[in-house]
Structure 1
Amino acid sequence: MLTTCPACADPIGGGDDYCENCGLRLTPVPSGDAGVGRDRVEAALGPLAGVSDIGLRHHRNEDAMALLTPGARSPALVGVVCDGVSSAPRSDDAALVAAETGAAETARALREGAPANEAAATGMTRAAGAVAALADAAGSPACTYVAACMPEGGGPVTVAWIGDSRAYWLPGGGAPGPARLLTRDDSWSAAMVEGGVLSEEEAENSLYAHAITAWLGADSGEVEGHVATVALEGPGAVVLCTDGLWNYAPAAEDLAALLPGAERDPAAAARRAVEAALEAGGRDNVTVVVMSV
């Protein structure tokens, strides 16, 4: 039985479902119940905030997010966003388990002294294992994964990802450099563009534009995720999101125009991004996490 939270190490009661300090889920997700109560989820934790919404055309929310801020012993801001693969069974379970496991294990590794890039990789690996463990006779649940962590008080931001959920950097007023995409999609269209086979417009208009080539799940094969540590000169915001948002604003400059001053009010920025996706059609679940730098 757990006596301390695996993410922030605060004491917990034997019957607690969630840590009162950092909000981590402490009990397993019952099979088939992961989507209950998740049509709209909002979390605002000061410099870190997120919104996950079912969208306008889906019957359940197969996205998930997890947010951790420095508590009693948690050393960093950690945000994770996952998007369940809709063609796989229990994709909502996969996304939730991956997000919560990834955040908790990243924080644990940081607390034990691991460098940020190793901690982020550990979080992603443990998330992959947790999703693979959901496989049963009905098939293999699967999801994408993107995470960011930043030391308390600021510093380099480390991003880990697999699939096509994205991380962006949006500089604030006075910060140098343009907005930019910090991740590279594991997708058929990205591979075609990188290989010079198709133009970006041709790839985006293809029937296979959103086919991913890497994911978390028991059937993913020997696929390695990506980890990058980036020195970002603030003020500004790191935005993690599923394709439910970036389908409508794929270029970094488009997202920056949509979310000016995101670093000043991450919660308002996350809500504004989700509402913009809904106003544009809301074809997919949409999840956005904003981390102020």
Structure 2
Amino acid sequence: MRMCPEHGPPSEPEHKFCEVCGRNLMTGEAAPVEPVPTVWLSSRAGLACVGCGAAGTEMYCDNCGRRRSVGRDHAELDLTTVGAVTDRGRRRPRNEDAVVIGRYDGGLVSVVCDGVSTSTRSDAASHRAAEAGVAALLDALTSGADPADATVLGAHAAAKAARAAAGTDASDTPPSCTYVSGIVTADAVTVGWIGDSRAYWLGPEPDCLTVDDSIAGQLAAGRPAPATVEADPTSRALIRWLGADSDDAEPQVRSLRPSGEGRLLLCSDGLHHYLSEPAELAAAATGTPIEVARHLTAVALDGGGHDNIAVAVLSFPALGGSAP
């Protein structure tokens, strides 16, 4: 009789696989183990208070009363084929940008969120949204979802997390952020966004893949500005974002199948305020993903660093796949 060495005979003699562990009872081979996705975050949970050094996880330090920053002033995340850097910049009191990178058996993912500085505790919104977004992306992708569908699910999860960051606070400016996600597989790149954080394709025919959800961005793309806002062609004011004061959680989604190797760049406006042309970004994308992210962050800092900076770089094709 066929028998699993760990769980004994099957419940039915004709069964060819163990009902418990999936072992092949004909050959004795164990069931393949699915790799666990790897995720790195820019949040600083559990780190010491930047004011007095006391440890804790509450929003305010029990020792000195200073509000804890959710994100690190500077963080570097490196998973070889995907790397990211975020920095406080030179003029902000804390880093309110968030970046999360992930790698799974089939591709790479990342989310960049830019905390809206005019809102309260925007760092809480950006980190919660980024972490929830990547978690939902990986859950959907490893369950077999199409990247475009996974992108929508990721944005929905991020929007829910950003709204939850407000807690019971009834402020007129609850925590809010922008959102951009990227998925790279062996043959395609898929991005989704809400706000003015951007995605760029850096490879053959470099291109900006996103259209800013601002008045200026919509007008520059030949789209009419919403009737509810004054159509100032120079205004960078957001018309879409994530937070308790926004009920728009539907991302714009774009996919492409590149003709050759390249990089997908996700970034907050702390970078594209200084360097926004796709060709110039592509020319700067030399070295490993983490080296590119470091270099672009340095460009923003050297340019003035007026805002927080978040940069994620994903290699295409993912995991050694071949481009079509």
Partner Cα separation in structure 2 for residue 9 and residue 144 of structure 1:
31
| 1:167 and 2:199 matched | yes
Moved over 4 A (4+): 27-30, 195-198
> What residue is the counterpart of 1:137 in the other structure?
169
C-alpha deviations, 1:233-269, integer Å up to 9, x for none? 2321111000000001122122223x143xx411110
> What residue is the counterpart of 1:65 in the other structure?
99
Aligned length: 257
Check whether the contact 1:34–1:93 (CA below 8 A) recurs between aligned residues.
Answer: no
| 1:251 and 2:292 matched | no
Q: CA deviation at 1:133?
A: 1.2
Counterpart among 98, 113, 118 of residue 82 in structure 1: 113
SS of the aligned residue for 2:191 comes to strand
Larger relative contact order (C-alpha < 8 A, sep ≥ 6)? 1
> What residue is the counterpart of 2:131 in the other structure?
100
Pair 290,194 (structure 1): closer, same or farther in 2 beyond 3 Å: closer
Partner Cα separation in structure 1 for residue 155 and residue 35 of structure 2:
20
Check whether the contact 1:76–1:107 (CA below 8 A) recurs between aligned residues.
Answer: no
Question: Identity of paired residues, percent?
Answer: 40
Check whether the contact 1:34–1:96 (CA below 8 A) recurs between aligned residues.
Answer: no
Counterpart among 181, 186, 195 of residue 147 in structure 1: 181
Counterpart among 304, 314, 324 of residue 281 in structure 1: 304
Q: CA deviation at 1:227?
A: 1.1
| 1:125 and 2:153 matched | no
> What residue is the counterpart of 2:214 in the other structure?
187
Partner Cα separation in structure 1 for residue 157 and residue 87 of structure 2:
26
C-alpha deviations, 1:265-292, integer Å up to 9, x for none? 1111000000010001000001100011
Pair 225,197 (structure 1): closer, same or farther in 2 beyond 3 Å: closer
Q: CA deviation at 1:193?
A: 2.9
1:11-30 to 2 correspondence within 5 Å? 21-23=38-40, 30=58
Q: Structure 2 stretches of 5 or more lacking a match?
A: 1-33, 47-56, 61-66, 226-230, 317-324
Q: Structure 1 stretches of 5 or more lacking a match?
A: 1-7, 11-18
SS of the aligned residue for 1:22 comes to strand
Counterpart among 51, 62, 79 of residue 45 in structure 1: 79
Check whether the contact 1:81–1:147 (CA below 8 A) recurs between aligned residues.
Answer: yes
Q: CA deviation at 1:196?
A: 7.8
C-alpha deviations, 1:34-89, integer Å up to 9, x for none? 6256100001111100000000000000000000012xxx5421111000011111
Check whether the contact 1:89–1:138 (CA below 8 A) recurs between aligned residues.
Answer: no
Q: How does the TM-score come out when normalised to structure 1? A: 0.80
**Residue identity matched to 2:210:** T
**Residue identity matched to 1:185:** D
Q: Which moved more, 1:37-46 or 1:59-68?
A: 37-46
Partner Cα separation in structure 1 for residue 232 and residue 294 of structure 2:
30
SS of the aligned residue for 1:164 comes to coil
Pair 196,76 (structure 1): closer, same or farther in 2 beyond 3 Å: closer
C-alpha deviations, 1:209-247, integer Å up to 9, x for none? x21110111211345211111111232111100000000
Check whether the contact 1:31–1:93 (CA below 8 A) recurs between aligned residues.
Answer: no
Higher CA-based Rg? 2
C-alpha deviations, 1:148-172, integer Å up to 9, x for none? 0122xx210110111000000111x
Partner Cα separation in structure 1 for residue 263 and residue 280 of structure 2:
14
Counterpart among 211, 221, 224 of residue 247 in structure 2: 221
SS of the aligned residue for 1:88 comes to coil
